[in-house]
Structure 1
Amino acid sequence: MNSISELEAIYGDAAPKSLSKVVTKVTPHYRTWIEASRFVVVSTVGAEGTDGSPRGDDGAVVTIQDESTLLLPDWFGNNRVDTLRNLVCDKRISLMFMFPSSTNVVRVNGTAVVTADEELRKRFEKKGKLPRTVIVITIGEMYFQCAKALMRSELWKDVGRDVKLPTAGDFLKERDAEFDGKDYDATYPEYAKSRMW
């Protein structure tokens, strides 16, 4: 495919509702959804390439600062900082909010900056700990995603089914035959879940 016109010749016009559903600010329904969501996939692009990063929390994964701004605290992790590195170079960001059992997905496209402002970080204090930084997201557009993908995949069907998946230790040992994956999984059992749900 070499041009947009070639692509459009195959797919035709977008369904009218897929365009009219787009909003540019947090509405009451979107507020309800986002405040209920504990999980979001964050996508960014930068000089080193693209990145898709899952983010989760024990409550709302982001805080709505106002109708145009979302706040995403960055808690301690593996220090790769792929998402943050990208945002320093290129402010574009996309988010996909999901909620278990729902086949809808809420999508946000916009721009973001990374800040280590202490007062802002203090807003997210938990058990005496602060996030290292906060991602401040300015909403460009927001809309719910057609449910067909999650319905087709039956993502939430038969929650609890026994599907054997590689553990974190398995992934690491695959890259380094000398690595003791079983010991790693025993040391970090929260990363060693072998069930899909």
Structure 2
Amino acid sequence: MSTAEVTAHTDAQATAHTDAQAADTDGKVAAHTYTEIRSVEELRELIREPDAPAAGKVRTSLHPYDKAWLAKSPLVVMATADADGRCDTSPKGDPAGFVKVLDDTTIVIPERPGNRRADGWLNVLQNPHVGLLFLVPGRSDTLRINGRAKLVKDASFFDEMLVKGHRPTLALVVEIEEVFFHCAKAFIRSATWQPETWDPKAVPSTAQIAKATTRKHQDIEEIEAFYGAAYGEKLYEA
């Protein structure tokens, strides 16, 4: 291969690989080795079985505390996959409590105007399984919900999901199969909610990224204007 060379040998348990990686800034090629884990037994040799509270925390319906969390959550990350298993992850956000609880096993996520790619919605039409991660700003634990989803339109409850005069044109109804709280370790390790660790200017701006990738033929000033103050004023315009 011209960009990567992979050599492999098989031992009694797994396959060890050597990958030739892209050249670094000095033009040198770094080689890395790894051994692929191919079985549950191999995995459990490295990560022991969970203790009883962790193993038994999955529930099939909403507890009052789950509903309280949903009422204060302004952001959910939704994972989907198409019929071939190609995955997509997308954030959905609105004022806290935007996800409607229909009953103890059913929630609704409204659609809002976006770029119209509809990646997640297209996936759901092929494969109804979804994974949801609900965040509450400042809290390091998260609420996870897995279930089967369907897209609906013209629902009577859409009138209860108005935001700035915008009524959803469609929504995702999720029948809950699993619900549980996820521990806080990832957010604690990452210091996600600690403002002193934030440095948004450490990476290129949205306009700079767009100029380099998807809007190469536009002037940077035009792109910056698009993503400027007016961008936030048009969040609910179709």
Deviation at 1:116, TM superposition (A): 1.3
Q: Once structures 1 and 2 are overlaid, which stretch shifts more, 153-162 or 138-147?
A: 153-162
Match of 1:169 among 188, 207, 210: 207
Contact 2:77 2:132 in 1 (8 A): yes
Q: Residue 160 and residue 12 in structure 1: after superposition, are their counterparts in 2 closer, same or farther (change >3 A)?
A: closer
Partner residue, 2:60: 24
Partner residue, 1:158: 195
1:13-40 per-position Cα deviation (integer Å, ceiling 9, x unaligned): 1122112222211111111111100011
Q: SS at 1:72's partner residue?
A: strand
Deviation at 1:47, TM superposition (A): 3.3
Partner residue, 2:72: 36
Q: SS at 2:161's partner residue?
A: coil
Partner residue, 1:72: 109
Contact 2:154 2:169 in 1 (8 A): no
Match of 2:217 among 150, 169, 178: 178
The normalised TM-score by structure 2 is 0.74
Deviation at 1:161, TM superposition (A): 4.3
Contact 1:97 1:106 in 2 (8 A): yes
Contact 2:144 2:181 in 1 (8 A): yes
Partner residue, 2:81: 45
Contact 1:21 1:143 in 2 (8 A): yes
Contact 2:207 2:227 in 1 (8 A): no
The aligned amino acid for 2:159 is K
Deviation at 1:158, TM superposition (A): 2.0
Find the aligned partners of 2:142 and 2:43 in 1 and give their Cα distance: 25
Higher relative contact order, structure no. (Cα contacts within 8 Å, ≥ 6 residues apart): 1
Residue-pair matches, total: 192
The aligned amino acid for 2:222 is D
Q: SS at 1:65's partner residue?
A: strand
Partner residue, 1:195: none
Deviation at 1:74, TM superposition (A): 0.5
Deviation at 1:159, TM superposition (A): 5.8
Find the aligned partners of 1:141 and 1:116 in 2 and give their Cα distance: 25
Q: Residue 148 and residue 127 in structure 1: after superposition, are their counterparts in 2 closer, same or farther (change >3 A)?
A: closer
Deviation at 1:162, TM superposition (A): 4.2
Deviation at 1:160, TM superposition (A): 8.5
1:78-101 per-position Cα deviation (integer Å, ceiling 9, x unaligned): 000001000000000011011111
Give unmatched runs, 5+ long, in structure 2: 1-36, 233-238
Partner residue, 1:91: 128
Find the aligned partners of 1:127 and 1:173 in 2 and give their Cα distance: 31
Give unmatched runs, 5+ long, in structure 1: 193-197
Find the aligned partners of 2:79 and 2:108 in 1 and give their Cα distance: 15
Partner residue, 1:10: 46
Find the aligned partners of 2:58 and 2:200 in 1 and give their Cα distance: 37
Find the aligned partners of 1:47 and 1:160 in 2 and give their Cα distance: 40
The normalised TM-score by structure 1 is 0.89
